[in-house]
Chain A
Amino acid sequence: MATKWSYMDHWVTETPQGPLPPSFNRTYMDRYVKQLSALGFQGFDTFFFYLPMLQGMYGSVPAFEHFLQDNGFEKITGIFSAYPYATKHTAPHVRETHDRIVADCEYTLRGIEGLAGVENFIVMPSSTDWQTEPVTDDKIKIMADLWNRVGRITLEHGLKTTCHFEFWGAIRTRPQLELFFEHTDPEYVYFFCDTAQHTIAGVDPVQMFRDYKDRCTGFHFKDTKNVDTTGMYRTAPDPELMAPDVERWFYPMGEGGLVDFPSLMKEIVASGYDGWLTVEHDKAELGGGTYAEATCLAKWYIDNVLAEAQREAEAAL
């Protein structure tokens, strides 16, 4: 099988105003795309809130996609949307806010009209655990109802609503994940496997893929060096950056982390999955790294270590 790799957009680069995202201006964005292109990425995932900036820099979001295509990309593959911090306006576990969230999603869908074919509408299905507590079965079912609604709408636009679970979100343990998938319609709600997030939450991402491969529409390949064993997921207001004992949760592949990427790759090959595989670097600059270097090392890992795992798995088919 020919694997297709996309890149999830967290990039930060040096500017005269300090280290900032390449949306700083068009020149920086062009350089960023060229760097990804040089490494051979073919897909580009981004956040919903970058869409207006892309429109501003390139005239329209499709014009940005054309620029990607001029640089060897196939297309924009995924759009990420989320409500990490629950408010009275938007909170997936609060049914009264669902109309607003659905309206937001419809707005985002209008923002990507004219693109070649975005495949994934990636969502965080919940807000932070600490704001959702107590996390009851009923709340998980309410969240399932929301994404069933959203999933039906996005599918009409050709996108699958696919759920990306944070270690600090309200759907994080294996029983919670199972209950959520039980109450979501497999036709409308899919699974997006973030290897690091599940590992931190004490969930085996390889086993998750094995069990939900029929609903899996994508991956964030990133690593971690810590499992949260002390309840840091409950840190308010934000466990991702403020956990008391862990300054940095996420690492690139191949730096001695806990995720068994070769095993995952073999499972992917064995399953016949033919969708996109995505590299994500979140906070790669912590501890003195750079996004450019982390991305090169990730692609080296893909082309060497994962390619070997893929060959072995294909030989075993």
Chain B
Amino acid sequence: MKDTLRWSYAINAWNLRMDVFVRHEEQQRALKTLSVLGFDHVELASGMGGRWENLGTPEIILINHGSAEGLLAFLRRAGISGVSSWCWDPGQPAEETGYAFLMTRNPADHDAIVEAAKPFVDLLAAAGGDQLVVRPAGSAWMAPPLGDGDAGIVGSLWNRVGEVAAAAGVGVSLHYDCLQPFHTEEQLVSLLDATDPALVGLALDTAELTIGGIDPVAFYDAHHGRVAHVQLKDTRFQDAGQEYLTPGAEATMLKGGAGRRIERWFYELGTEGGLVDVEAFVASLRAHGYGGWVVVEGDKGGNATEVAMLNSWFLQRRLGVEKV
């Protein structure tokens, strides 16, 4: 995209389940799709690890492509010039780490998390990426309510990871999602306050904040100095109260397994009934001179190609962004 903002697209939209999006031909088709839609950078995302995470975990990427340069050459074949960022959830058990169930709220796990972050940081830095986008803490329903010390504990971990990343020239940003425990604006700010602004920023996800009951435009206006990364997507729903605390909220809430039975939460930009004021949000980014990446996401939205095309249409026709 030709713009003063830097635009990227999240490739995880194609990685619907564990045994798809594995062959290089499939990945080339997705990359060509993004290229012709005007995107020239992608955001990677880690998963459960193992032999099928070809664009997800460092070990498997290196088996596939040999080096960061090999990965970039693979992307360039389709006209994608680089990696903007990499999403990583240390609480997601992965095969390479023996399915360890690491919890950022448990100080005893911090050394292991810092170690586990290093391969991501190293490969991301070598590939010229900007941000390691991390899930700050596991889902709220899986642990007791936040105590007074939790923000400090979690913040201290991410400061440590931030130091490791900064040494490699990469930033760390904490991704707000609607299930993690720093849920309210007050809780989120308390976590940010517990981190060093020089090392750790916020990855602001417009749909996730909206679901969590926080207005992304107002929040950005108030806290733009801490926002190091943006993920742009829309939603048609808000958490009706405390749905995020429902046991198994990943399925019971976000796949409609219980409660209101909402089976799809995330939508393309400009969706009918969308709750995110995308135009106002992007205008605010411009007004504050935002210099990070804006990653458009289409995950959990059905046909990844169709959603990517509609997202690109919105950028071109509603935001006035010209394609590369």
Instruction: Choose one: A15, A24, A242; the contact of B22 (CB below 8 Å).
Output: A242
- Counting residue pairs across A and B whose Cβ atoms lie within 8 Å, the total is 85
Is B248 in the interface zone, CB < 8 Å from A? yes
| Complex interface residues of chain A between 86 and 115 (CB less than 8 A to chain B) | 87-90, 100
Q: Give the distance to chain A from B70, nearest Cβ to Cβ, in Å.
A: 14
Distance in angstroms between the alpha carbons of A285 and B257 in the assembled complex: 24
A16 touches B257 (CB 8 A): no
Closest to B22 in A: A241
Is A148 in the interface zone, CB < 8 Å from B? no
A18 touches B255 (CB 8 A): no
Give 1 or 0 for each of A27-57: 1 = CB within 8 Å of chain B CB: 1000000000000000000000000010011
Interface size class of chain A, counting residues whose CB lies under 8 Å from the partner chain: 20 to 34
A21 touches B256 (CB 8 A): no
A53 to chain B: which residues have CB within 8 Å?
251
Is A84 in the interface zone, CB < 8 Å from B? yes
Interface size class of chain B, counting residues whose CB lies under 8 Å from the partner chain: 20 to 34
Distance in angstroms between the alpha carbons of A24 and B302 in the assembled complex: 13
Instruction: Choose one: A24, A100, A242; the contact of B255 (CB below 8 Å).
Output: A24
* A17, A19, A26 — most chain B CB neighbours (10 Å): A17
B257 touches A57 (CB 8 A): yes
Distance in angstroms between the alpha carbons of A242 and B19 in the assembled complex: 11
Distance in angstroms between the alpha carbons of A15 and B256 in the assembled complex: 11
Is B173 in the interface zone, CB < 8 Å from A? no
B22 to chain A: which residues have CB within 8 Å?
238, 241-242
A21 touches B257 (CB 8 A): no
| Complex interface residues of chain B between 275 and 302 (CB less than 8 A to chain A) | 300-302
B95 to chain A: which residues have CB within 8 Å?
85, 87
Task: State whether A20 and B96 are in contact (beta carbons under 8 Å apart), knowing that A26-B257, A56-B247 are contacts in the complex.
Answer: no
B264 to chain A: which residues have CB within 8 Å?
16-17
Instruction: Choose one: A20, A57, A128, A242; the contact of B17 (CB below 8 Å).
Output: A20
Is A25 in the interface zone, CB < 8 Å from B? yes
Is B210 in the interface zone, CB < 8 Å from A? no
A237 touches B19 (CB 8 A): no
A238 touches B51 (CB 8 A): yes
Task: State whether A242 and B251 are in contact (beta carbons under 8 Å apart), knowing that A17-B300, A18-B303, A25-B257 are contacts in the complex.
Answer: no
Is A270 in the interface zone, CB < 8 Å from B? no
A87 to chain B: which residues have CB within 8 Å?
95-98
Instruction: Choose one: A18, A24, A26; the contact of B304 (CB below 8 Å).
Output: A18
A85 touches B50 (CB 8 A): yes
A21 to chain B: which residues have CB within 8 Å?
17
Instruction: Choose one: B24, B50, B99, B263; the contact of A242 (CB below 8 Å).
Output: B24
Q: Give the distance to chain B from A82, nearest Cβ to Cβ, in Å.
A: 10
Is B112 in the interface zone, CB < 8 Å from A? no
Distance in angstroms between the alpha carbons of A18 and B64 in the assembled complex: 26
A25 touches B51 (CB 8 A): no
Instruction: Choose one: A25, A88, A100; the contact of B251 (CB below 8 Å).
Output: A25
Is B222 in the interface zone, CB < 8 Å from A? no
A25 touches B98 (CB 8 A): no
Closest to B304 in A: A18
Distance in angstroms between the alpha carbons of A21 and B97 in the assembled complex: 25
A15 to chain B: which residues have CB within 8 Å?
255, 263
A274 to chain B: which residues have CB within 8 Å?
none
A17 to chain B: which residues have CB within 8 Å?
16, 255, 263-264, 300-302
| Complex interface residues of chain B between 43 and 96 (CB less than 8 A to chain A) | 49-52, 54, 60, 63-64, 95-96
Distance in angstroms between the alpha carbons of A124 and B161 in the assembled complex: 37
Q: Give the distance to chain B from A313, nearest Cβ to Cβ, in Å.
A: 36
Closest to A57 in B: B257
* A12, A53, A85, A100 — most chain B CB neighbours (10 Å): A85
B303 to chain A: which residues have CB within 8 Å?
18
Q: Give the distance to chain A from B173, nearest Cβ to Cβ, in Å.
A: 25
Give 1 or 0 for each of A163-203: 1 = CB within 8 Å of chain B CB: 00000000000000000000000000000000000000000
Q: Give the distance to chain A from B160, nearest Cβ to Cβ, in Å.
A: 23
A56 to chain B: which residues have CB within 8 Å?
247-248, 251-252, 257
Is A211 in the interface zone, CB < 8 Å from B? no
Give 1 or 0 for each of A67-89: 1 = CB within 8 Å of chain B CB: 00000000000000000110111
A237 touches B54 (CB 8 A): yes
Q: Give the distance to chain A from B45, nearest Cβ to Cβ, in Å.
A: 15
A19 to chain B: which residues have CB within 8 Å?
16-17
Interface residues of B (CB under 8 A from A): 16-17, 19, 22-24, 49-52, 54, 60, 63-64, 95-99, 247-248, 251-252, 255-257, 261, 263-264, 300-304
A-B CB contact pairs (8 Å), 9 listed: A18-B300, A19-B16, A24-B251, A24-B257, A25-B251, A237-B64, A238-B52, A241-B19, A283-B19
Please list the 10 inter-chain residue pairs (A to B) with the smallest Cβ-Cβ separation, ordered nearest first: A89-B98, A25-B257, A16-B264, A238-B51, A241-B22, A237-B51, A16-B263, A85-B51, A85-B50, A56-B248
Interface residues of A (CB under 8 A from B): 12, 15-21, 23-27, 53, 56-57, 84-85, 87-90, 100, 128, 236-238, 241-242, 247, 283
